Structure 1
Amino acid sequence: MLGGFMETLKKDWLALVLISVLICGITLNVRAEEKSGRSGYIEPKLVFPVISDVHIKETGTLDLRTFQHALTQLNEQAPKQDAFVVVGDLADTGALKEYDRFFSIYNQNKQSQAVSLFTIGNHEYRDSVTNQQAQQRFLSKTKMKSLYFHQVIKGYHFIMLGTESRLTAGDYSIKQINWLAEQLKIAKRDDPKKPIFVFIHQPINNTLYGKNRWGIEVNEQLLYNTLKPYPQVITFSGHTHHPLDDPRTIFQRDFTSLATSSVRYIWPGAGYLQGELPPGYRDVSQGLLVEVYNRKVVVKRRDFHANKWTGEAWEIDIPADTKKFHYTNERDLVKPIFLPSSTISVIQEKASANQLYIQFTQAVDNLMVHSYRITVKNKETGKVVKTYNAFSQYYSDPVPDVLSLPLSGLQPHTAYRIEVAAVDAFDNQSDQKLMIEGSTK
């Protein structure tokens, strides 16, 4: 979704690339963001989409159109699917009519040979009086064999887990986790070199971006420790709605964890000037397409709203070896940079007694500029009076070349010095800062 970003600055960027190569031996990409999604391999042995958080409501048409749009693209990009996976929150509350509306679209678009696999999410519990009632409704409507189950498709193991209550953070019992332990043994015994796919609505703690707010709480350490001995495990989770453009939506330590974003809308995070649900958050719709080859699992990220791939395809080696894991917290140490032609200004006509507006050219990064740290100092005293964080709007299509941001909570008739630093997804901060002075009215 970052396509077209910074096109006008290619000449400056090329010069900095050459400097970076000479000094650091690091090659930075101007547009690491928009790729074809082609794997470059022979015919895959297994293909399946993974989506989540469709959130079909009882009324309205936008949710249905968004879902239809996603299914149409997945069928175009993968006309020979072996399975189709939805990792929870099919419905917004779990009401009967929501299930009916979900399957009115799904059944029309499902490929006959593809095995349907659904996990239950926390939203499926909201319309039911009891947890048992919600579970029975889910099983009846989805035709799944159990709340959690194990299925083999073309020799590959799919393990579906199911949260057991309406708890937002997820509720996975010791009984279910002990069952998982046995299924992992079975899958490994079948073929220790093949990946084992595990699907769970909420993310597992100590893995993906966003897990601290949205991750599993009940028995979370037991669940992690159960998966830990299996580097061939690849987990897929929804729930967080975090944009797939963020590179932290894949993580490897003891096993591989993947986030699936959301078909319905995104939630990029809290504590930023644009708000938890920034303008345009309902316009973003995303999902994954998985291709399995002899030596790699290739995961492509799809922007359904833009009808294109976003970012490089993730490639997970087979057989798995933790020593060769690439998608770790240490994968990126490159700092964002502001190009020589970058500018910053105060939009004086928008200034008020308590607010200033700034406008500046965005920085660039080898992966993604995530946000900006903005420091406001009293010009006379030099004291820091305000700090702000602002998204780069990396989730937008297209990402704007220039950001305009309000800085509120200031004092009237006061001169300020404003400093802007760029930050990437791994908290690498630019050495350079853009600086400007301005006064409130």
Structure 2
Amino acid sequence: MRPAPFALGAASLALLLPISAHAVTVPAVAPTASAAASDAAHATPAAPTFARPGGRYERPVSLALRAERGATVRYTLDGTTPTRASRAYVTGRPLRITEDTNVTAVAFRGRRASLPVSAGYLVKTAEKPLARLVVMSDVHIGDHKNNDKKYESFFDTIGSVFPEPDAILSNGDMINDNGDGRGADHRIVSEIFRANLKRKGMDDTQVLLSNGNHDASLADIRANYPRDWFPDAGGGYYESKVKGLHLFTVNTETYNSDAAQRAWLKKRLAELTADPAAARTPVLVQGHRPAPRTTMDGQQAANPLLTEDLSAFPQVMYFSGHSHLNINDERSVHQRDFTAVNDGSMSYVEMDHGYQAVTETGLADRFEAPTAQALFVEVYRDRTEIARVNMAADKHDIYTDGKWSANWQPPYASAGTLSGPTWTVRLKGRTPQEIKKGFTYTDARRNTTAPRFTSARPLSVVGRSKGEKALRVAQAKDDQMVHHYRVDIRDKATGAELLNSKALAEYYFMPRPRSLDIPVPATKRGARYVARVSAVDAYGNASRTASVVFTG
């Protein structure tokens, strides 16, 4: 396929402010106090700062927000960009964060607004997990130039959630070999990872790799990493233990045709789950490609025999990558006979296909975004909690001047924000049937709540440059997330179609925009048009249709 605290502290936020590359000329005559005050009133305010950085906390967080003198801080707690209508922060009255939350703040002064800044807060208890693992996939590293600073930022985020994780799983496609002899790039990945593990003091963290379709050969993997990162016996698959938990790494490039690998996995899983006392202990499995009929409807899945072999073991939690599909989407976790979890991607994410995105040049058949994400897994005695964390989710188009540009460099205003609520997996019961009956993330229990528009006028038509128009859609709300908008614009008199699109809701950026401006194709002067829009979630539940009439 093509700081506990983390995220943004005051020092990180300062990096977001524009810095002139030129020397500042000091005026010969100092400005008067009134002139200085006038200049300050018309200057763009600096971004707010957070008194406590985002991250993982074992108690509720008391959070003070700070801004320049004369600026008003407004904030949101739902992942959206604050506006002048958002709640104002009152100095001396800190926010109390009692559950997993993204906090986004903007400083306003007059007509000027700062850049938005965000931080994610994971609020836990003092209970200690049995093991903590970071699960990532599809890092696609090919050089130091584009990846050294990026992975410094990524490891800073990792270290702020888990200061010393028990294991980091890199689940395939460490490099981007396309049969063009780039196997030696694995050494670059190894150098970057080892440098950051040393820098962050993660001396006892295990690193466990799987083989992906862009990883050249197994020999290249063995030659370029420490042996304990990929301890296979020749077939690209192996068994490990992480703090006493069993972890199986499978080679999904060969699984369907590798009888020995299949026999090994089934035998070991049967042995581990035979004892009724172990029925509720998760068994972790990682493999690069998703298994059919699991996450995100199996898009880009392979190895149906893997689905078949795992189906007898509801204790299995299978982690997979390859598809680059984002982990914001609730369909990225799925349970039927076992638990399947999509890892997302550390290079860029995709959305399921068939939709359009609002880009710098207008609507485009685009399903990629330059967003990096990973999973933070905590295994407790009675449950497994899986937090979804953005390494970088700033809003950018993945093309610049028509050229692929996924390698956005830090600092990232969104580093460490949450890309969705934590998933909690519980294994209840002592038999496979009892455990499956207690599954939560099944097709039968999928979401049925439709989004809703909360604005009195969710649609309006606004002007763009060169006399063009755009349909402004005030984002709807949903109990999980709005996935896209069905947009239909027609000539009111003739019914002729002007635009028909399923426009993505930009749920994969942090913060999400409060509205979308969907470009309207050229209209006839004086003609009347009607635009109809409904909001749709990831499961197809649709809101009421909103409409607006406008003149071309």
State the TM-score, normalized to the length of structure 1.
0.82
Q: Which residue of 2 aligns with 1:297?
A: 384
Instruction: Name the aligned partner's letter for residue 81 of structure 1.
Output: P
Greater fraction strand: 2
Helix, strand or coil at the partner of 1:248: helix
Q: Cα RMSD over matched residues?
A: 3.0
Cα gap change, 1:189/1:83 in structure 2, threshold over 3 Å: closer, same or farther? farther
Q: Which residue of 2 aligns with 1:114?
A: 205
Unaligned runs of 5+ in 1: 12-28, 126-133
- The aligned runs of 1:48-59 (5 Å cut-off) are 48-57=133-142, 59=143
Q: Which residue of 2 aligns with 1:42?
A: 127
Instruction: Name the aligned partner's letter for residue 112 of structure 1.
Output: D
- The aligned runs of 1:408-423 (5 Å cut-off) are 408=521, 415-423=528-536
- Given the alignment of the two structures, is residue 429 of structure 1 paired with residue 538 of structure 2, yes or no? no
- Given the alignment of the two structures, is residue 343 of structure 1 paired with residue 458 of structure 2, yes or no? yes
Structure 1 residue 406: Cα displacement: 1.8
- Given the alignment of the two structures, is residue 392 of structure 1 paired with residue 392 of structure 2, yes or no? no
Q: Which residue of 2 aligns with 1:163?
A: 252
Instruction: Name the aligned partner's letter for residue 141 of structure 1.
Output: N
Contact 1:248 1:425 survives alignment (8 Å) = yes
Contact 2:210 2:286 survives alignment (8 Å) = yes
Distance 1:108 1:31 in 2: 30
Please, which of 147, 163, 171 is the counterpart of residue 87 of structure 1?
171
Q: Which residue of 2 aligns with 1:404?
A: 517
Helix, strand or coil at the partner of 1:197: strand
Please, which of 373, 378, 381 is the counterpart of residue 494 of structure 2?
381
Please, which of 149, 152, 169 is the counterpart of residue 68 of structure 1?
152
Instruction: Name the aligned partner's letter for residue 250 of structure 2.
Output: L
Distance 1:294 1:250 in 2: 21
Structure 1 residue 81: Cα displacement: 2.1
Please, which of 239, 242, 261 is the counterpart of residue 153 of structure 1?
242
Unaligned runs of 5+ in 2: 1-76, 88-99, 105-118, 358-363, 393-413, 430-434
Higher relative contact order (CA 8 A, sep 6+): 1
Instruction: Name the aligned partner's letter for residue 307 of structure 1.
Output: A
Distance 2:376 2:334 in 1: 17
Distance 1:298 1:84 in 2: 16
Distance 2:212 2:256 in 1: 10
Greater fraction helix: 1
Helix, strand or coil at the partner of 2:350: coil
Instruction: Name the aligned partner's letter for residue 115 of structure 1.
Output: Q
Please, which of 296, 315, 321 is the counterpart of residue 424 of structure 2?
315
Instruction: Name the aligned partner's letter for residue 207 of structure 2.
Output: S
Structure 1 residue 30: Cα displacement: 11
Instruction: Name the aligned partner's letter for residue 158 of structure 1.
Output: L
Aligned residue pairs total 401
Q: Which moved more, 1:48-57 or 1:101-110?
A: 101-110
Helix, strand or coil at the partner of 2:542: coil
Per-residue CA deviation, residues 250-287 of structure 1 (Å, 9 max, x unaligned), is: 111111111111111111232222146468x22x2110
Please, which of 116, 120, 123 is the counterpart of residue 214 of structure 2?
123
- Given the alignment of the two structures, is residue 272 of structure 1 paired with residue 355 of structure 2, yes or no? yes
Distance 1:412 1:171 in 2: 61
Helix, strand or coil at the partner of 1:81: coil
Per-residue CA deviation, residues 333-385 of structure 1 (Å, 9 max, x unaligned), is: 11100014343122355587xx8521121101111111101122331133656
Distance 1:393 1:322 in 2: 34
Structure 1 residue 426: Cα displacement: 1.2
Cα gap change, 1:255/1:163 in structure 2, threshold over 3 Å: closer, same or farther? closer
Q: Which moved more, 1:199-208 or 1:326-335?
A: 326-335
Contact 2:80 2:514 survives alignment (8 Å) = no
Kindly name which structure, 1 or 2, has the bigger radius of gyration based on alpha carbons: 2
Structure 1 residue 174: Cα displacement: 4.0
Contact 1:207 1:251 survives alignment (8 Å) = yes
Sequence identity (%): 26
Q: Which moved more, 1:326-335 or 1:267-276?
A: 267-276
Helix, strand or coil at the partner of 1:419: strand
Cα gap change, 1:171/1:416 in structure 2, threshold over 3 Å: closer, same or farther? farther
Q: Which residue of 2 aligns with 1:369?
A: 482
Contact 1:50 1:287 survives alignment (8 Å) = yes
Q: Which moved more, 1:170-179 or 1:98-107?
A: 170-179
